[in-house]
Amino acid sequence: MGKLAFGVAQVKASKRPFRTFEVHAEDVRSRTSSGRTNTGLGIQAPTAGSCHSATGCYSEAEWCPRKAHVVADENGKDMDGPLDRALAILTFVAEQKKAVSAAEVAATLNLPVPTAHRLIGNLEARGLVQKALGTKRYLVGSKLVTLSAKAIGAAFRTARRHAVLSAVADRIGEQCEIGVVRANEVVYVDSVRSKQPQGLQFNPGEVVPLHCTSTGKIYMSRLPVKARHKLVHALSLFRYTPTTITDPDELMAQLEETRRRGWAKTNEEFVRGVVGCAVPIVSPAGDLIACLGVSVPAARVGFTGLDAFIGPLQNAAALLSETILQDEGLS
């Protein structure tokens, strides 16, 4: 039996006009001896070769290629199982810069609208997508954000990525750490301790604020201006030290500077006597995945001395990005 893609077929019943109905792949049960396909809906699809639809029908044991509702991967292979469609929806929603409607999901992924609604409802019930406040549009859910951060953390704890982190820590002689952002907080997922005495030690799993850490500043600086402004004014800009930035306008100005130069520094803003800097680790597409940073005693390095660490950190971040590229089989 040829593979049936979920889609729309038309059936001619007696002398009645053609009637459009949805046939989902999971509804297909068996092929009869007459060559017709039993849809499981009490209606039989037309025989192979009888194509009457401008939008897609059953033809040559396949859906007509005019408009088959099939999600395909980058190699053109049909990915028409329920799980494939759900993952396609999650990917599409995650890639958007604003919330999307079910109709937009259906149109982009070439899904029947009822199918899109059903799958989105299942994803919403599991916290993987959620409605934007006061709308019927969807964005990524909190459980998906948490899962993605855990997945990134696990990915960076591989031996070869930890080796890159160890190498840069040895080169600059200070502790280095990799941090990601989850639920508007920085979470450290891996670190290598320095042989130098003293210094601020960030261990995997530790959580710190956004507004007074280099990783947090990089994350916020890469947001669209409106989203950045909204987040800065929503955060509790708690003063941890005398140099913590607590004025939203001052923080916005520093984030714009961070965006322009591509890396961030902090001057005793979270812990008195400790300065730090960080650089972004990006995906092959240029999206922010994590940040690679260092925290050192101001008495040993000083705020201006942090600039000497940027080059080695950027080289290490590029190597970490290359390992991601290799994992995806793109190199």
Give the span between the Cα atoms of 238 and 247, in whole angstroms: 10
Do 128 and 30 reside in the same domain of the chain?
no
75: in domain: no
Do 26 and 132 belong to one domain? no
**Tokens describing residue 245:** 């930035």
Per-residue pLDDT averaged across 197-211, rounded? 73
CATH assignment at residue 194? 3.30.450.40
**Average pLDDT value for residue range 167-182:** 90
**Residue 69 resides in a domain:** no
Looking at residue 325, its pLDDT comes to: 59
H/E stretch holding 114 reads: helix 113-125
Checking if the pLDDT of 198 tops 60, the result is no
Is 90 a member of any domain? yes
Question: Which position has the higher pLDDT, 317 or 160?
Answer: 317
Structural domain containing residue 58: 7-63
One domain, residues 191 and 320 = yes
With a cut of 80, say whether residue 67 has pLDDT above it.
Answer: no
Q: Would residue 73 count as lying in a domain? A: no
Same-domain pairing of 168 and 294: yes
What is the value of pTM for the model shown? Answer: 0.62
179 located within any domain: yes
Least reliable range by pLDDT among 115-124, 144-153, 254-263, 283-292? 144-153
Most confident of 6-20, 139-153, 168-182, 208-222: 208-222
- Which string of DSSP letters, residue by residue, matches 156-189? HTSHHHHHHHHHHHHHHTS-EEEEEEETTEEEEE
Give how many domains the chain has, as a whole number.
3
pLDDT for residue 153 = 66
Is the predicted pLDDT of residue 177 greater than 60, yes or no? yes
Q: Is the pLDDT of residue 246 over 80?
A: yes
Residue 76 lies in a domain: no
Same domain, 101 and 48: no
Domain stops at, among 119, 140, 161: 140
Q: Are residues 155 and 100 in the same domain?
A: no
The strand ranges marked E within the chain are 7-11, 19-23, 30-31, 37-38, 58-59, 62-63, 129-131, 138-140, 176-182, 185-192, 207-208, 264-267, 274-282, 288-297
